[in-house]
Amino acid sequence: ILTGSDDGTARLWSLDGCLVQTFIGHDGPVRSVAFSPDGQAILTGSDDGSARLWSLDGRLVQIFSGHDGPVRSVVFSPDGQTILAGSDGNVVRLWQLNGRLVQTFSGHSGPVRSVAFSPDGQTILTGSEDNTAYIYPTPQRIYEYLQHEAAIPELTAEQREQYGIYWEEE
């Protein structure tokens, strides 16, 4: 089990509730956490405006910086070779694990609350507090735009290319 905390740390727990590892290094609350597809690394997103890649032994591997505002959502691509980070700066950034920025996706007019890859890694989904969800082919421009009546805090992609979007009613 992987958790993020307001104290700027992420923690890895065993299923019986024992602390396995603490990941220390963010200068703000950790808002999003993700396991790599192979389970050998973790990704964290923080109010300090960065996403960070960690080995399971707690070693910091890479810092992905440059976001304007807190990073609210992070995810690994299905092949584990790239990551997405969505932020309160209204953008999503696609990074290689070595820290190279591949592309910035803009279009939202509010904080990005959720990011996801399709199972084949060919599509990126983003959801925002501006009540919109975008679907992008990787790494191209906007493919489809969905308008909702409320903020989109979470979305997911399933194997059959069916996308699930959850929104909050005001």
pLDDT band at 112 (very low <50, low <70, confident <90, very high): very high
Q: What integer is the mean pLDDT of 104-117?
A: 92
Q: How far apart are CA 99 and CA 82, in angstroms?
A: 9
| Phi then psi dihedrals of residue 34, to 5 deg | -155, 145
Q: In the Cβ-directed half-sphere of 163, how many Cα atoms lie within 13 Å?
A: 21
pLDDT band at 136 (very low <50, low <70, confident <90, very high): confident
Q: How far apart are CA 41 and CA 86, in angstroms?
A: 19
CATH number at residue 156: 2.130.10.10
Q: How far apart are CA 162 and CA 7, in angstroms?
A: 36
Report the pLDDT value the prediction gives residue 142, as an integer from 0 to 100.
38
Report the pLDDT value the prediction gives residue 163, as an integer from 0 to 100.
52
Residues forming a β-bridge with 123: 137
What per-residue string of b and e applies to 23-33 under the rule 16 or more CB within 10 Å gives b? Answer: bebbeebbbbb
Using the predicted structure, report yes or no on whether residue 71 has a pLDDT greater than 50. yes
pLDDT band at 137 (very low <50, low <70, confident <90, very high): confident
Q: What is the pTM of this model?
A: 0.82
Range of the domain at 113: 2-166
Which tens digit of pLDDT belongs to each residue from 141-160? 334 445 566 676 666 655 54
Q: What integer is the mean pLDDT of 73-81?
A: 96
pLDDT band at 66 (very low <50, low <70, confident <90, very high): confident
Report the pLDDT value the prediction gives residue 144, as an integer from 0 to 100.
42
pLDDT-above-90 percentage for the chain? 70
Report the pLDDT value the prediction gives residue 34, as an integer from 0 to 100.
98
Report the pLDDT value the prediction gives residue 164, as an integer from 0 to 100.
53
- Region class of 21: left (phi > 0), else alpha (psi between -120 and 50), else beta: beta
Number of domains in the chain: 1
Which tens digit of pLDDT belongs to each residue from 34-51? 999 999 999 999 999 999
